Structure 1
Amino acid sequence: MIGLAIGQEKVPFYPNGILNLKEGIDLGDNIPELYFYKPATQSQSKVFLIIPGGGYARVAMGHEGHDVARRLQALGYASFVLRYRLPVDSQMLDKRIAPIQDAQTALTYIRTNGNVCGIDVRQVGVLGFSAGGHLASTLSTHFDTSYIGIETETSLKPDFSVLVYPVITMTAGVTHQGSKKHLIGPVFDDADVLRFSNENNVNRKTPVTYLVHAEDDGAVPIANSLRYQQALDRFDVPNHLYRYKVGGHGFGMVNKKQEGDWFADMLQWLEGQL
Structure 2
Amino acid sequence: MKTPGAISKTIAVAFGWFAAIHLGLAQQRLPLYPDGVPNAKAAENLERNEPNALVDSLAFDVSEPKMELFLAPQDRATGTAVIVCPGGGYHTLLTKREGSDVARAFNQLGVTAIVLRYRLPNDRIMVDRSIGPLQDLQQAIKTVRERAGEWRIDPQRIGVMGFSAGGHLAATAGTHHADVYIANPEHTSLRPDFMLLINPVISFMDSVGHVGSRGNLLGDRPNDKQLFYFSNELHVDASTPPTFLVHSGDDEVVPVENSFYFYRSLRQHHVVAAIHIYAKGEHGFLTAPSVDEWFGRCIYWMEQLGLK
TM-score (norm 2): 0.83
Match 2:87 to one of 53, 57, 79? 53
Structure 1 letter corresponding to 2:298: M
- The 2-side partners of 1:142 and 1:122 are apart by 18
* Equivalent residue number for residue 68 of structure 2: 35
| 1:95 and 2:95 correspond | no
- The 2-side partners of 1:224 and 1:68 are apart by 23
Secondary structure, counterpart of 1:90 in structure 2: coil
* Equivalent residue number for residue 129 of structure 1: 163
* Equivalent residue number for residue 150 of structure 1: 184
Number of equivalent positions: 268
Q: CA RMSD in A?
A: 1.8
> Deviation of residue 267 (structure 1)?
1.3
| 1:228 and 2:262 correspond | yes
Unaligned runs of 5+ in 1: none
* Equivalent residue number for residue 12 of structure 1: 31
* Equivalent residue number for residue 108 of structure 2: 74
* Equivalent residue number for residue 279 of structure 2: 245
| 1:206 and 2:240 correspond | yes
- The 2-side partners of 1:99 and 1:162 are apart by 18
Secondary structure, counterpart of 1:218 in structure 2: coil
Off by >3 Å, runs of 4+ in structure 1: 118-122, 149-152, 257-260
Deviations 1:12-35 (A, max 9, x none): 33111111012x322321221110
CA contact (8 A) 1:247 1:258 kept: no
- The 1-side partners of 2:73 and 2:35 are apart by 30
- The 1-side partners of 2:292 and 2:34 are apart by 42
Structure 1 letter corresponding to 2:270: D
CA distance 1:35–1:260, shift in 2 (3 Å): closer
> Deviation of residue 256 (structure 1)?
2.4
Structure 2 letter corresponding to 1:20: N
CA distance 1:273–1:173, shift in 2 (3 Å): same
> Deviation of residue 136 (structure 1)?
0.3
TM-score (norm 1): 0.93
| 1:264 and 2:296 correspond | yes
> Deviation of residue 122 (structure 1)?
3.3
Secondary structure, counterpart of 1:117 in structure 2: coil
Structure 2 letter corresponding to 1:111: R
CA contact (8 A) 2:280 2:288 kept: no
- The 2-side partners of 1:217 and 1:93 are apart by 34
Deviations 1:199-238 (A, max 9, x none): 0110001000000000000000000000100100110111
> Deviation of residue 119 (structure 1)?
3.8
Secondary structure, counterpart of 2:162 in structure 1: strand
Secondary structure, counterpart of 1:220 in structure 2: coil
Structure 1 letter corresponding to 2:293: D
- The 2-side partners of 1:270 and 1:40 are apart by 19
